[in-house]
Amino acid sequence: MKRRKFLKTTVVGVSAGTIAAPAIVRAAQTFSWKMTTTWPPQLPFYQVGPGSAEGMAKNIEEMSDGRLKIKVYAAGELVPWNGGFDAVSAGTVEMNHGVAYYWAGKRFAAQYFGTVPFGMSYAGQTAWYYHGGGLELWNEVYEPFNLVAMPCGCTGVQMGGWFRKEMNSLKDFQGLKMRIPGLAGKVYGQIGVNVKLLGGGEIFPALERGVIDAAEWVGPYQDRRLGLHKAAKFYYTSDWHEPSTTSELIVNKAAYNKLPKDLQAIVQAAARDAHVTSYTWAEAYNADALEDLVKNYGVQTRQFPPDVINALRKVTYQTLEEEAKKDPMTRKVHDSFMAFKKKHDVWGNLSEAYFLSIR
């Protein structure tokens, strides 16, 4: 009876004067959270497997010895694929796994935390988040939405896409029907492409039937999964539009603040773990899939002609500059990103880019 009373009072935190109390209080605090995602169920890299949403949730549960349990819901299971931002903001669910550029319609600045066309690859982009002020800006942009944000994955350099015909000049892009979403779609539209918005499941049938002439998705592993190599043979690299697409973990701020400091640290550590685990997973499995596509399916890799790349770069920078003019927060993020990139490009060209060219 005496012991029961002791437990009761310490659990609610009334009596804190004994040595045993903190341990008992801690053991009693468990959290059961929900995480929605923007991904279909069973999608490797994003939803399941090493570095994915489910992988990260499992790590958090293990690292916290079961004190923070997270049930993961794929797109449509709890909210639609693009409903996670509002659900976490409202506190309906505690977490969402997605990509920040999906929220660029709410605040354009979110684009910079997804990927920036002609921006930086994994090394530079990640350095900006962790050591160049990027992560602080990300959280500043999301401040009005009651969210804590952090990177939790990276595809590495994505591919330029699948084309039914070889592309030899800017002229070949006039009227080309291409599936490409977001900012890249906007830029392609300005060089004369007839941009089509199709969901993942619609791409293969449209490309196979010639409803579209070209499509981009992710990279060799994910593209092979959709069967795009069976609908088009020319696989373009020179990826300019998604050089380092970052997965995003958003957490409801009130829920995050209720976690003890060690569980907050575990969430942060699990996200960093997923960031490097997913990136290295993608590097390994893309290399494997590319070999298979070229050897066994006759896929031919190509680079976009220089005049195309030059036109796309010019339009991209113009578009980003126009968006930055419209909104002070976008201006702040844009200037931070570009200043970091300018400096890092010099270092990256001297170090990694040069090394890659001589090995």
* Min dist. Cβ of residue 198 to Ca ion (A): 12
Query: How many residues sit in the footprint of Ca ion (CB under 5 A)?
Result: 2
Beta carbon nearer to Ca ion, 264 or 319: 319
Beta carbon nearer to Ca ion, 54 or 242: 242
Identity of the residue numbered 14: V
The pair phi, psi for residue 111, each rounded to 5°, is -55, -40
Site track 99-138 with Ca ion (rule: CB under 5 A), x = hit: ----------------------------------------
* Min dist. Cβ of residue 151 to Ca ion (A): 17
| Reduced 3-state DSSP string for 266-311 | HHHHHHHHHHHHHHHHHHHHHHHHHHHHHHHHCCEEECCCHHHHHH
Beta carbon nearer to Ca ion, 59 or 158: 158
- Please state, in angstroms and rounded to a whole number, the distance separating the CA atoms of residues 316 and 43: 30
- Please state, in angstroms and rounded to a whole number, the distance separating the CA atoms of residues 69 and 88: 17
Beta carbon nearer to Ca ion, 242 or 248: 242
* Min dist. Cβ of residue 60 to Ca ion (A): 27
State the Cα torsion 7-9-14-15 to the nearest 10°: -60
Q: Closest by alpha carbon to 46, among 185, 205, 184, 219?
A: 219
Residue whose pair of structure tokens reads 């596509």 in the numeric block: 293
Site track 241-280 with Ca ion (rule: CB under 5 A), x = hit: -x--------------------------------------
Site track 180-219 with Ca ion (rule: CB under 5 A), x = hit: ----------------------------------------
The pair phi, psi for residue 71, each rounded to 5°, is -95, 125
Beta carbon nearer to Ca ion, 94 or 248: 248
* Min dist. Cβ of residue 218 to Ca ion (A): 5
Beta carbon nearer to Ca ion, 149 or 183: 183
Q: By three-state DSSP, how is residue 235 classified?
A: strand
* Min dist. Cβ of residue 73 to Ca ion (A): 23
Residues 75 and 37 sit within 8 Å (Cβ to Cβ) = yes
Within 10 Å of residue 287's Cβ, how many Cβ atoms? 12
Q: CB under 5 A: which stretch of 108-116, 160-168, 240-248, 345-353 binds Ca ion?
A: 240-248
Q: CB under 5 A: which stretch of 92-100, 127-135, 236-244, 347-355 binds Ca ion?
A: 236-244
Write the CA distances from 37 to 1, 73, 104, 119, 247, integer angstroms: 47, 6, 17, 26, 11
Token pair listed for 158: 């994505």
DSSP-assigned letters across all residues of 327-342? -HHHHHHHHHHHHHHH
Beta carbon nearer to Ca ion, 38 or 64: 38
* Min dist. Cβ of residue 200 to Ca ion (A): 10
* Min dist. Cβ of residue 20 to Ca ion (A): 54
Residues 155 to 174: which contact Ca ion by CB under 5 A? Answer: 158
Beta carbon nearer to Ca ion, 134 or 219: 219
* Min dist. Cβ of residue 143 to Ca ion (A): 28
Binding site for Ca ion (CB under 5 A): 158, 242
